[in-house]
Amino acid sequence: MILKKATILIVDDDTDVLTAVKLLLKTEAQEIITEKNPENLNSLLQRNQIDLVLLDMNFNSAINTGNEGLYWLRKVKEWKPNVCVIMITAYGDIDLAVRSLKEGANDFVVKPWHNEKLIETIKDLLDKKEGSTPKKATGKSSTGDTSILGESDVMQDIFHKVNKIAPTDANILLLGENGTGKDLMAKAIHERSLRADKPFVKVDVGALTDTLFESELFGHKKGAFTDAREDRTGRFEDAQGGTLFLDEIGNITLQQQAKLLTVLQNRQVTRLGTNKAVDIDIRLICATNLPLSELANENRFRKDLIYRINTVEINMPPLRRRSEDIVILAKHFAKLYATKYLKPAMDFEPAALQKLRMYNYPGNVRELQYTIERAVIMADDHIMRADDLIFSILESPSDNSTIDMDNVPLSTMEKNAILKVIEKHSGNITRAAKELGLTRTALYRRLSKYDI
């Protein structure tokens, strides 16, 4: 989609913001629509062919105070899943804005924004939306700001596999630990498929109750249950002609599995509250963090459903098994977040790269991403130092049952590294601290911690 042909909707309760953005974009886009009241969003989306929405994070309303933008973002994605959304936020609300990316926003801009940067962001999103020809998997996905990168042998094998299966309609099962990039791989497969110009619809089915499962996937008629105040299509119909991605498929109940299997076998859905079946044409991709051996247990998962969803399987490797890619990914995320937070281009000191290589990453690529994002925000200059890299205390090997028991605990790895460096410098703490990328005080704390 070329910006000159685009219709853009700006929703903000600040008249000055509406005026400023409209003046900026009026010569760039075909049509600019402004709206102060987010309550009018649905009618505007239904009446107009909107290509992109600029949506404020906060409104003077009683709805979900402090999170109004997230509330309306969810509504936009419910009404029009394929519309691009850019969130507008104040600097103090960056945490909320980052959360909005996880809720489905395509990007966010911080007030006061740079005009050229805002226009460039809009152009990039519309260009990606327009791209409809199947793309060859080259080791980098064009799925937004968390590209699938990798030069390791295991990732090259996956890219080769994707090249073969993406243009087909084969159902795909993505396996792997949390944080390995299964959702990104699903998007990459869709973008390289013959359905790339059709919808890509994601559903976290593992979080749905039995009633919500049917309503969310198959849709409902008004009055089908207590809160069914209007007719609603399900995600199968929303994905018509495109790709339906069912995440956390391993967590659904046997009863839900039976209903899903019926739909996949018949290629039809029936909305709750009606007997009319609707034909569906979708490509199905599923994902789970459970190993295939657990799914093969018929007390947990139906084998006939496994065969239905698993024409081809792709195992996404944990980051500790593709260590060659750690630095590549770290530099990618550093560039990404330096741009996002208006920081200078970031570089890594050797000790920081060494620290990244030594870590075990129980949270996989997602943990590395958030670690680099935090480091970019906290860094004092354009050099990222080892002390800037703080790994999440939320992740530990005990949190991840699939981590090999042979792996050495991180504390042991750190202690051994410290001992080797101190020995190398004949006990000189200053030199040892410099090589480890630590201050003398920080190194002394670790010496005390490990009773060295």
The answer to the question of residue 363 being in a domain is: yes
The answer to the question of residue 63 being in a domain is: yes
Residues 173 and 119 in one domain: no
Q: Give 421-443 pLDDT, tens digit per residue.
A: 777 776 778 777 777 767 777 77
Whole-angstrom distance, CA of residue 153 vs CA of residue 151: 7
Higher pLDDT, 271 or 89: 271
Q: Give 340-362 pLDDT, tens digit per residue.
A: 988 889 899 999 999 999 999 99
Opening angle at CA 176, ends 70 and 166, nearest 5:
85
**Number of domains comprising the chain:** 3
Residues 331 and 310 in one domain: no
The answer to the question of residue 419 being in a domain is: yes
Q: Which amino acid is at 13?
A: D
- Quick one: pLDDT band at residue 403, thresholds 50, 70, 90? very low
Least confident residue range of 21-25, 98-102, 363-367, 398-402:
398-402
Residues 185 and 48 in one domain: no
Whole-angstrom distance, CA of residue 289 vs CA of residue 176: 5
- Relative to beta strand 277-279, strand 219-220 is unpaired
- Quick one: pLDDT band at residue 401, thresholds 50, 70, 90? very low
For residue 397, is the peptide bond before it cis, meaning its omega torsion is within 30 degrees of 0? no
Residues 249 and 121 in one domain: no
Domain boundary among 282, 315, 348: 315
The answer to the question of residue 143 being in a domain is: no
Residues 281 and 191 in one domain: yes
Domain boundary among 115, 130, 145: 130
Residues 199 and 113 in one domain: no
User: Which of 74-78, 110-114, 146-150 has the largest mean confidence?
Assistant: 74-78
Domain boundary among 293, 315, 337: 315
Residues 329 and 286 in one domain: no
Whole-angstrom distance, CA of residue 11 vs CA of residue 32: 11
Return the SS3 of 432. helix
CA dihedral 373, 374, 376, 379 (to 10 degrees): -170
Q: Give 44-71 pLDDT, tens digit per residue.
A: 998 888 999 999 887 765 444 457 788 8
The DSSP element (H or E) to which 315 belongs, if any, is strand 312-315
- Quick one: pLDDT band at residue 409, thresholds 50, 70, 90? low
Q: Give 77-101 pLDDT, tens digit per residue.
A: 888 888 899 988 875 556 666 677 7
Average pLDDT, the chain: 82
- Relative to beta strand 268-270, strand 243-247 is unpaired
CATH code for position 237 = 3.40.50.300
Q: Which amino acid is at 8?
A: I
The answer to the question of residue 140 being in a domain is: no
The answer to the question of residue 141 being in a domain is: no
Residues 270 and 292 in one domain: yes
Residues 184 and 283 in one domain: yes
Residues 120 and 164 in one domain: no
CATH code for position 353 = 1.10.8.60
Residues 348 and 224 in one domain: no
Q: Give 152-208 pLDDT, tens digit per residue.
A: 888 998 998 888 899 989 999 999 999 999 999 999 999 999 999 999 999 999 888
The answer to the question of residue 145 being in a domain is: no
Burial class (CB in 10 A: 0-12, 13-18, 19+), 105: buried
pTM of the model as a whole: 0.57
Residues 99 and 37 in one domain: yes
Q: For residue 94, give both structure tokens.
A: 């960056």
Whole-angstrom distance, CA of residue 392 vs CA of residue 372: 11
Whole-angstrom distance, CA of residue 327 vs CA of residue 144: 20
Give the max Cα distance, the chain: 81
CATH code for position 45 = 3.40.50.2300
Burial class (CB in 10 A: 0-12, 13-18, 19+), 233: middle
The answer to the question of residue 147 being in a domain is: no
Whole-angstrom distance, CA of residue 213 vs CA of residue 217: 6
Question: Which among 414, 400, 413, 415 has a CA at the least distance from the CA of 452?
Answer: 415
Q: Which domain holds residue 269?
A: 153-315
Whole-angstrom distance, CA of residue 313 vs CA of residue 345: 38
Whole-angstrom distance, CA of residue 232 vs CA of residue 230: 6
The DSSP element (H or E) to which 149 belongs, if any, is none
